[in-house]
Structure 1
Amino acid sequence: MTHPHKVNYKFNKLGGLGFISWIVIVFLTLGIVAIAQTKFSPRRALQPQALTDIASITRAQQAYFLEQDTFADSIEKLGLAIKTDTETYRYRISPPPITGPFQSRNGKVFSEPLTLNKSVMITAQAINPAMKSYTSAVFVTKLKGEKNPVAVICETESPSRIPPAMPIFTQDKFGQVQSNCLKGSRKLR
C-alpha cells in the first residue's frame, strides 16, 4: 500500500531521472533564464529612468520660466538632484538651433531664429548604443495674452546615441499648439 501523499517517481536503472527528463529540466531552466534576462535587463530598466529624468527637467523648466520669465541654462539652476553625466545617459540643456523650430502665425508656418527666452531644448543622450535617446523642448506661446510654456518629449524610434532633433511647434490662429517630433523619433508626451 502506498502512502496517499507520497509521490512515486520512476527512476532509471542508475537510480536517477531518465535522460528525457533531464533534457526537459535543462530546457525549462534555460527558458526561464532567457525570459528573466529579457524582461528584467538593466538596459530596459534604465530607459524608463532616463524618461523620468528628462520629464522632471522639462517640468522644472516650465515652472522656472513661469517664475523667472526665462529658462535655466543648467540642471543645477533648476534645483534638481539629477546628475548631468551618469553611466547610462548624458543630460544637457541647450538653446534651440538658430534655424528653428518652426512657428505659425495665423495658420501660416515660418522659420524664425529663437532665443533662449522663447524656447529651450533638453537632451538625454544614451551612452550605450543599444539604448534609446530622448529630446524634450519647452516653447513659450501666448494664450489670451498670457505666456504659456508648452512641452513635448521625443524618443528615438530605435536605439541611438544621437538624441532626436528639436521638435516642431505650431500654433494656429486660435492659439492651439501642436508639437511634432521629426523623422526618426516619436512623440511620447
Structure 2
Amino acid sequence: MLQVEQVLQKRYQLQTKLGQNAGRQTWLAQDVAQSSAQQIILKLLAFNPQMHWDEVKLFEREALVLKHLDHPQIPQYRDYFCMAQETDEDLPWFGLVQEYIPGNSLQQLLDKGKHFSEKQVIKIATSVLEILIYLHELSPPVFHRDIKPSNLILGKDGQIYLVDFGAVQDRARAEGVTFTVVGTSGYTPPEQLWGRAVPASDLYALGATLIHLLTGIAPGELPQHQMRIQFADKVNLTPHFNRWLEKLTEPAPEGRYNSARQALAALQSAYGSSDFKEKASQPASSSVSYVRLARLVFLQLLIISFGAAIYLPNFLHSGSKAKEFEAKAFVKSMNRAQQAYFLEKSTFSNSLENLGLSRETQTDNFNYSTRATKSAVFNYGISRRKRLKSYVGGVFVLPATEFGGSEDETTTITILCKADSAGKIRPQEPSYVQGKLTCGPGTIPASGY
C-alpha cells in the first residue's frame, strides 16, 4: 500500500494522490534527489495476473513516446521504472515520471462553474492546434487519441498544456494489424471507435472539447442529428466560428480538415473564409453512409463496454458496482443501436435481435428488454438480484427544427436512468416534455452518460 511521504526508487517522495482507478494511481511527488527538490507527476500501474496485457503496453508506449517528444506545451519525460521491493505487495508496479505543470485542467475549471467566451476558446483552440501540428508532423506522426478538457491544463503561466499520453499511437502502430480501442465517450470520433486513428481524429476530439467549453455541457449529453453534435442553439457564436466547429466535428473524417495545420489556417482566416460557406447541415460527401458509421460505432461501444468489464481485476468483478456496470453499458448500447435503427428504418425495434446486439436477453444478474412506441423506445436492464439496481434508457423522436434542422427532418435524443433503490423492480420510464428530458419517479440520471 502506497502512502504519503513514502519514497520510491530512493528519490520520489509521494505527496498527494491525485487520482486512482483500476490498478492505476497518479501522485504529486517530489524528486528529492535533486539539489533543490522538484515537484513531479508520478503515474503508477500495478501489475496483476488478471490484467489485460494491452494496459501494460499502453503504459509502456506512453513512456516511450513521451521520451522522444520535445515541445514546450507537453510535460517533459523524466523517468520510467519497475519496482517490486518498495511496496508490501508481491506484484510489480510500473512508474512513469513527468514534469509537473502548476495549474488547473479545463475540466476542473468547468466543474467550478467557469464560463468560457468565444475569444478564450479560440485562443485555446489555437494553442492546441499548434501542439497537434508538432505531433502530427513528426516522423512517424503521433496521434494523442484522448483530447478532452481533463487532459488540457491551463498553466499558471497562462499557457495550455496537453497531458496524458496514455492513449497515444504513432502512425507505424496505427497501420499494423492489431489495435486497442481507446478514447473517451463523447469526444471520440466514430472512426477511432473501430480502431482507425488519423490526424482528423484528434481534430474531432478538439472540436468536441471546445463545444463543451462553450456550452458547459459534455458533448455526450448534447443531442445528435445524423451523428452530428447539435450545439448551435446552446451558445451564441459568430457564424464563422460556429461553422468551423461544425466542420471540425463532422462524423466522417473526410468531411473534416485534413490536418491541424489546415484547421489552424482556416481558424486564423475564418472571418470571410470560403471554408465556411458550405451549409453545415449538408454531408461533406455523398458517398458517406451514416447508417454504416452508426452501426460500426455502436458495435465498438459494445466492445469497449464489455471489454472493460472482461479485463477488470477479479476482485472488482465481485462488487455490485462492477455487476451494475454490465447493465449500464448494455442499456447505453441499446440506446445507441436504437438510434441507428431509427436512422435507417424511421422506426424503432421491439426486438434486440433486430438491433444486431450479440447479447442474451437474460444474464446471471439482469434481464434485458425493449419496448417501442411510435415516438419513443424504452430499453431495460432489470436486476435479478436484491442488491443490484436496474437501469432504463429512453430514445425520443423530435422534430429536427428543435436543433436547427429542416422542417421535414427528425432527430433523436437519449437518456439513461438508474433506479434509486436496489431490487427486482422494473424502473419507471423517462419522459421528454416541453423540451426537457426527465428520469421517471424512483430513478436518477446515470453518471457518465
Provide TM-score, normalisation by structure 2. Answer: 0.27
In terms of fraction of residues, the more strand-rich structure is: 1
Question: What amino acid sits opposite 1:143 in the alignment?
Answer: A
SS, match of residue 336 in structure 2: helix
Give 1:161 shift. Answer: 1.3
CA distance in 2, matches of 1:162, 1:147: 33
Alignment-derived partner of residue 398 in structure 2: 141
SS, match of residue 351 in structure 2: coil
The equivalent position to 1:49 in structure 2, one of 326, 335, 338, is: 326
CA distance in 1, matches of 2:387, 2:322: 13
1:167 maps to 2:444: no
User: RMSD of the TM alignment (CA)?
Assistant: 2.0
Question: What amino acid sits opposite 2:438 in the alignment?
Answer: N
CA distance in 2, matches of 1:63, 1:40: 31
1:137–1:151 Cα contact (<8 Å) kept = yes
Give 1:41 shift. Answer: 2.5
1:87 maps to 2:344: no
CA offsets 1:8-33 (integer angstroms, 9 cap, x no match): xxxxxxxxxxxxxxxxxxxxxxxxxx
Counterparts of 1:112-127 in structure 2 under 5 Å? 116-127=373-384
Give 1:71 shift. Answer: 0.5
2:317–2:323 Cα contact (<8 Å) kept = no
Question: What amino acid sits opposite 1:46 in the alignment?
Answer: K
Give 1:178 shift. Answer: 1.8
CA distance in 2, matches of 1:156, 1:38: 25
Select the structure with the greater relative contact order (CA < 8 A; seq sep ≥ 6): 1
Counterparts of 1:26-45 in structure 2 under 5 Å? 41-45=318-322
In terms of fraction of residues, the more helix-rich structure is: 2
2:380–2:392 Cα contact (<8 Å) kept = yes
Question: What amino acid sits opposite 1:58 in the alignment?
Answer: N
Alignment-derived partner of residue 61 in structure 1: 338
CA distance in 1, matches of 2:368, 2:325: 14
SS, match of residue 49 in structure 1: helix
Counterparts of 1:102-113 in structure 2 under 5 Å? none
Structure 1's consecutive aligned runs of 4 or more residues displaced over 2 angstroms after TM superposition are 37-44
Q: Which runs of 5+ in 2 are unaligned?
A: 1-313, 402-406
- Which structure has the larger Rg? 1
Give 1:182 shift. Answer: 2.1
SS, match of residue 65 in structure 1: helix
Provide TM-score, normalisation by structure 1. Answer: 0.63
SS, match of residue 155 in structure 1: strand
CA distance in 2, matches of 1:160, 1:59: 26
